[in-house]
A = this chain, B = another copy of it.
């Protein structure tokens, strides 16, 4: 009623969800910023509107309104993504659809070990709901206090329990999805087995909001572990770390729930910037490994005995050089805390070129040797901060400037070269340039260089079939075919 001619789409969106749940571009910057800026602060976009539907029907209404207006939609959950997949671009044409008001737990079926909940539920809330029923949702990420289930599924999140339970996709039994024309796929399901046609669930999981908007999901739960134990092992080499992994898989069986690798420099940064944490066995070994064992059945004592026996064998075989066994849950948590503090310690050391890569586990030693030699030759003094989920073949293979150099200047000058060098080497060893973070906008232009040509063709055919107007998260995953967006 006041001000300049309003965008008619804003009126339509207000009619869908109520005026209180639509932010116009002229809203205070402080209100818009949490939606328009990615949490690492690398991009500040401009949304045509921020809209917060409170039900699946409202999501469908919003999608229909946007489709009618030809307005692209960017779905967003907790805005904790790492690849700029959930923030609007700077054009001011994209509608930011925030799922956080879809936050109801719809059903918890204890006998079926399943939890049905809406996409905007925060992961920690879901974990707690499971725990209150005596069950366990084995999805655990650094951002679990703010990331949402919808985002976890849209990006097929990884985390610390993948070795035993798989990625987010492996925990999902069913989905409810709003399609780009506003139709709703009612695919919630508590079934372990269902061979009645194409697996649409796995198609939407990991599609980063480009094919549909996940509004609810049914997740698979597990019995709570009765006992958890943890060991920290210094290993003489990467091949020894692999030998230790095989030994742990053989002797610990399916209870092996974590096998994390940490390079010497990664632990040095922790020791230097977070001295209270005191990494064990550092700096005596080129790599340390954190082994976690979780059992539903064993007692604490049996658990410790099994870890002890593993360590004895490993020391005898020579694949372990030295080892520490956590004697309490608190000690185990301190060991995990060291592992999880590596990114923070690295951030304190300064900007770096991050790579979330995966490789066949058997190729990791050869990859690391080759990549390290190439980097040493190309950028003398550059430092490798190498750590990650070795049991999953997933390394966070980060490159930091030479000690004392200007990190920002180094990155400006060399980041593209470093990325190409690392990713080319990953490709030669049969690996992936994104193990768990996804593609988003950050890697969309890079992807065609490393992805099978026919895979890209199939992806484009599927996108065209399911979102013919190209309204959902355009340019994410599949780069826009524009002349200003050439392959790197």
On A, residues with C-beta under 8 Å from B are 109-114, 155-156, 158, 162, 164, 166-167, 169-170, 179, 183-187, 189-200, 202-203, 205-207, 211, 223, 225-226, 242, 246, 249-255, 295-298, 306, 358-363, 389, 392-394, 430-439, 443, 447, 450-452, 454-459, 461-462, 464-466, 477-478
Question: Which of chain B's residues have a CB closer than 8 A to the CB of A170?
Answer: 166, 170
Q: How far is the CB of A413 from chain B (nearest CB, A)?
A: 27
A191 touches which one: B110, B166, B295, B359 (CB < 8 A)?
B359
Q: How far is the CB of A215 from chain B (nearest CB, A)?
A: 13
Contact B297 A459 (CB under 8 A): no
The 9 closest A-B pairs by CB, nearest first: A253-B296, A202-B202, A465-B465, A190-B360, A111-B362, A254-B254, A253-B297, A194-B432, A193-B435
Contact A203 B206 (CB under 8 A): no
Question: Which of chain B's residues have a CB closer than 8 A to the CB of A253?
Answer: 223, 225-226, 254-255, 295-298
Q: How far is the CB of A319 from chain B (nearest CB, A)?
A: 12
Asked if A155 meets B195 with Cβ closer than 8 Å, knowing A430-B190, A465-B462, the reply is: yes
Question: Which of chain B's residues have a CB closer than 8 A to the CB of A113?
Answer: 249, 361
Contact B434 A194 (CB under 8 A): yes
Q: Which residue of B lies closest to A297 (CB)?
A: B253
Contact A455 B112 (CB under 8 A): no
Question: Which of chain B's residues have a CB closer than 8 A to the CB of A249?
Answer: 113, 223, 296
Docked CA distance A450–B462 (Å):
25
Contact A197 B296 (CB under 8 A): no
Question: Which of chain B's residues have a CB closer than 8 A to the CB of A389?
Answer: 193
In the complex, which of the residues A167, A196, A206, A462 has the most CB atoms of chain B within 10 Å of its own CB atom?
A196
Q: How far is the CB of A208 from chain B (nearest CB, A)?
A: 9
Question: Which of chain B's residues have a CB closer than 8 A to the CB of A438?
Answer: 195
Asked if A198 meets B462 with Cβ closer than 8 Å, knowing A162-B193, A393-B191, A430-B189, the reply is: yes
Q: Which residue of B lies closest to A438 (CB)?
A: B195
Cβ contacts A to B, 30 pairs, < 8 Å: A109-B360, A109-B362, A111-B242, A113-B361, A158-B193, A158-B195, A179-B458, A185-B455, A185-B458, A186-B454, A186-B455, A191-B431, A191-B432, A194-B432, A195-B432, A195-B436, A196-B432, A196-B450, A197-B439, A197-B447, A197-B477, A198-B206, A199-B202, A200-B455, A223-B249, A226-B253, A249-B296, A251-B297, A253-B295, A461-B466
